[in-house]
Amino acid sequence: MRADDTAIRIKDVSHRFGEEGEARNVRALLDTSFDIARGELLCLIGPSGCGKSTLLNVMGGLLTPTAGTVEVFGKPVAGPMPQDIAFVFQENALFPWNTVSENVDLGMRFQGVPKSERAERARRSLEAVGLKEFADHFPGQLSGGMRQRAALARVLVNDPKILLMDEPFAALDAQTRARLQQEVARLWTETRKTIFFVTHSVEEAILLGDRVIAMTALPGRVKADVRVALPRPRDPTSPEFNDLRRMLENLLTEEIADEVATIAHSLTTLQP
């Protein structure tokens, strides 16, 4: 990958919470390295607690790594980069006292964008996620899936170059989740934004990703980096899809089994 094709470069990133020797010391990431190309949709999977969200926060400048570096468009990340990077989390964090349109408008208002421009950009953003007719509704009047689409509209309105998405659909029912997966796939196809998508679901990762990175158990490291060479839209019932799903699920099963064995050994050594 040429340097000018790289959106994010993660090099030898490690992170430790707490000081070594402390009771609450946790080594979350260890020597993690990979690149994300401009316009790529990269999905990250791994066992629970393997450092996926920690890595996302390091990439977005919300957390300073203990070691290693992160670059965005060739520049070292030293803190949040709101002009380039936006976050979509599992919790939509909409303000309940504001309408959907007002929630989408809020960030632009703080940036000093003129009112007429804000209104047009908010309209286009809500239209992109299928919520134009719900602009004057309050979040409490929307379903969980609609609230998450509103949160996505609030991010898209500022036209970030990179989206960091941390299990944004994990709390939704299966039908709503499938609909939003289609929305993300459609928006990516239309905008070709760089997207880093953290998920626990192997199927979701294969449905969405150009590549899928599988992490090891704690401390998180890259176990596998797999390119998804399946045509879009992807058919989860196809033999090729299921072969890839089984392979990735086996990788995660290995990590979980190793983690359980390690815990069991530790408990054994503690017995008198």
DSSP 182-244: HHHHHHHHHH--EEEEE-S-HHHHHHH-SEEEEEPSSSB-EEEEEE---PSSP-TTSHHHHHH
Q: What pLDDT does 83 receive?
A: 86
What single letter denotes the amino acid at residue 80? P
Determine if the pTM surpasses 0.95: no
Q: What pLDDT does 264 receive?
A: 47
Round to whole Å and give the CA distance between 163 and 160: 7
Round to whole Å and give the CA distance between 31 and 95: 38
DSSP 95-107: -TTS-HHHHHHHH
Annotated domain spans of the chain: 94-158
Contact 11, 33 (CB under 8 A): yes
Helix axes 115-128, 144-156, angle to 10 degrees: 130
pLDDT in tens, the chain (272 residues): 555 799 999 999 999 998 766 657 788 999 999 999 999 999 999 998 899 999 999 999 999 999 999 999 999 999 999 889 999 988 888 999 999 999 999 888 878 888 889 889 999 999 988 899 999 999 999 999 999 999 999 998 888 999 999 999 888 888 888 988 988 998 899 999 999 999 999 999 999 999 999 999 989 999 999 999 999 999 999 999 999 999 999 999 988 776 655 544 444 555 55
Q: What pLDDT does 266 receive?
A: 47
Q: What pLDDT does 262 receive?
A: 54
Q: What pLDDT does 265 receive?
A: 44
Round to whole Å and give the CA distance between 19 and 217: 20
Q: What pLDDT does 21 receive?
A: 63
Round to whole Å and give the CA distance between 30 and 45: 16
DSSP 54-72: HHHHHHTTSS--SEEEEEE
Q: What pLDDT does 112 receive?
A: 81
Coil vs helix vs strand at 73: coil
